[in-house]
Structure 1
Amino acid sequence: MRSARRAKGQCEVRNRRRGQCLPTLKLGMLHWRHDRTAFAISGGGARGAAQVGMLRALIERGITPDLVVGVSIGAWNGAWLAHRPDLEWVKKLEEVWRQVTRRTLDMVWWRAARNMVRRKPSLYEGGGLSRFVARHLQVHNFEDLAVPLHTVAIDLTLGTKAVFSHGPLGPAVLASSAIPGVFPPVVIDGRQHVDGGLVDPTGLDTAIELGARRVYVLDSGYAGRLPAPLGSMNAIVDHTFYSKLRLSSFPKTSSNVDVDDGVCLN
């Protein structure tokens, strides 16, 4: 879980995960519009369940966001948090996650095999995920949330990053979670959208663009060497996919930064 904090015109990014201290990043030449705290909630598929524990830890310490950025599965967790950023509500999110299975999301093997044979554009139709989101989201529009939420997706039609913060909430969450090849693109305003993790895996870049002064990055990815070899095809593909996203995003994030000594949060 990372925290980015600006001090004297700079932004410090701090990481505390498994006892590791990563370098502090100082970002210069930024125009900060507001003194705001953001939660940037990353993608990561099923590992998004771990973000519930991160949210509990932050809220138990009295840390709440002024805005939330959600990417991929982080868009779902972010939408839940933005509705009610309190401990009781986060505990309910934990209960929801305990109900999630492949069958719940209609992600059974025979559907994937059938769609591959039929040369469909994705392994799954996305109906199960859509029903799950519709059943559990407590509000229908961004404007009904207690905390401003921004979900990140890719606009395939324009070839650009799309950040949603107004209008219908469900389609924006689904668009941010539409992993290419796994779920079909989500059409919003006549344009196709897919998983935002391909352009901003953690949501940190978007939070900075929105003018956040302090950013807590809830990253469900794994930092560092794996403790043991991966044992399944799904695990190998999943880890390769998210490793590629983080490696490809590093030059973009670090192009205007100086690396200083690492600091751990207490």
Structure 2
Amino acid sequence: MVPKIGIALGGGGARGLAHIGVLKVLEEEGIPIHCITGTSMGAVIGALYSQNPKADEIIEKFRENLNADFYQQLGLNHLKKESAREGEFFQQALQKIKKRIVINLAMNKPAILKEVRLREILAKFIKPGNIEDTQIPLGIVSTSLQSGQDILFRTGNIIDALTASSSIPGFFSPTSVSDDLLTDGAVSCPVPVQFLTEMGAELTIGVEINLHHFAPIKELNIIEIMTRVNLITSRNLAHLMVNKADLAICPDTKDIQWSHFSRAEELIEAGIQITKAKMPELHEIIRKKYPWYKRVFLQI
């Protein structure tokens, strides 16, 4: 009997495409995945893989759909053209928000884009259905704006849950569920390792794809300082969470930003390279925790 291995896929916008490379190597190495949890883009990749655990087919799906219409539909066509000085996606989004703040306040909008835009793009990638019907057990994480708590979806409509998990604050409207308002899961749970054990995992893998280095602050003002503080807090929380896993995988996404979907091939390759490098460590963890696995399966 093989140990039940669970993998938690963190949020990170376009950088989440590195998750595909991670899953591809695990698949090729014959490492079985018992369950998957995901936040934001990690939830999207996790949903794709749980519905159809074939990484190469997921890669091909992104190659087919990452086009001009994709950027236009998600409202990224302007963001991706911002200068490198703008840095993180949230910073770029903030610049766009600032430009439209008067209009938004006048119209009392909670965000730049309605959640229907996000639903439409998700529907291009995700098969309709329920979370409980996926081939691999799946947990999708969102954040309650009312309570600040993590919300774990293990049943129900998969598009609804992914919309809630991927609603970037200020950019997409929060999702209304009963009396609650749900937003991007990365706000409270950037790498949802803690839910894997309750889903039956005996060995956990966490994948964290935040930026590890920040660009210098160019304009010293209140908004830039608050944005940087938020980025630091998010990164440090992600590091704490991923290190709770038996194995932490952190692909080197270099300077690739949240909106750089055009760099998909680089991101997938980053996931492939780090996971190949981590395979000896994974096998060693399995040997130490499960000596019977060593005797029966590794024959060493």
TM-score (norm 2): 0.63
Q: Give the root-mean-square deviation of aligned CA atoms.
A: 3.5
- 1:175 counterpart (148, 159, 164): 164
- 1:124-163 equivalence runs, <5 A: 124-163=113-152
- 2:233 counterpart (244, 252, 265): 244
- 2:180 counterpart (191, 197, 212): 191
Q: For residue 253 of structure 1, report the CA deviation from its aligned partner.
A: 7.9
Give the conservation status (yes or no) of the 8 Å contact 1:43–1:202.
yes
Larger mean CA deviation between 197-206 and 41-50 belongs to 197-206
Give the conservation status (yes or no) of the 8 Å contact 1:44–1:73.
yes
Q: Report how many residues are paired.
A: 224
Tell me which amino acid in the other structure corresponds to 1:105.
L
Tell me which amino acid in the other structure corresponds to 1:118.
N
Structure 1: how far apart are the matches of 2:121 and 2:44?
A: 11
Give 3-state SS (helix, strand or coil) of 1:182's partner.
coil
Give the conservation status (yes or no) of the 8 Å contact 1:200–1:206.
no
Q: For residue 62 of structure 1, report the CA deviation from its aligned partner.
A: 1.5
Give 3-state SS (helix, strand or coil) of 1:103's partner.
helix
* 1:90–1:252 distance in 2 versus 1, CA, 3 Å: closer
Q: For residue 170 of structure 1, report the CA deviation from its aligned partner.
A: 0.5
Give the conservation status (yes or no) of the 8 Å contact 2:192–2:241.
no
- 1:103 counterpart (72, 78, 91): 72
Tell me which amino acid in the other structure corresponds to 2:71.
R
- 1:214 counterpart (203, 218, 223): 203
Tell me which amino acid in the other structure corresponds to 2:73.
T
* 1:150–1:102 distance in 2 versus 1, CA, 3 Å: same
Give the conservation status (yes or no) of the 8 Å contact 1:221–1:242.
no
Query: Structure 2 stretches of 5 or more lacking a match?
Result: 80-95, 247-276, 281-300
State percent identity of aligned pairs. Answer: 25
1:54 corresponding residue in structure 2: 22
- 1:165 counterpart (154, 168, 172): 154
Q: For residue 65 of structure 1, report the CA deviation from its aligned partner.
A: 1.2
2:50 corresponding residue in structure 1: 82
1:37 corresponding residue in structure 2: 5
Higher strand share: 1
Give the conservation status (yes or no) of the 8 Å contact 1:67–1:148.
yes
* 1:151–1:136 distance in 2 versus 1, CA, 3 Å: same
* 1:173–1:115 distance in 2 versus 1, CA, 3 Å: farther
Give the conservation status (yes or no) of the 8 Å contact 2:191–2:242.
no
2:103 corresponding residue in structure 1: 117
TM-score (norm 1): 0.70
* 1:49–1:248 distance in 2 versus 1, CA, 3 Å: closer
Structure 2: how far apart are the matches of 1:185 and 1:63?
A: 36
Structure 2: how far apart are the matches of 1:150 and 1:196?
A: 12
1:73 corresponding residue in structure 2: 41
Give 3-state SS (helix, strand or coil) of 1:122's partner.
coil
Give the conservation status (yes or no) of the 8 Å contact 2:37–2:140.
yes
* 1:189–1:250 distance in 2 versus 1, CA, 3 Å: same
Rg bigger for which structure?
2
Structure 1: how far apart are the matches of 2:192 and 2:124?
A: 25
Give 3-state SS (helix, strand or coil) of 2:71's partner.
coil
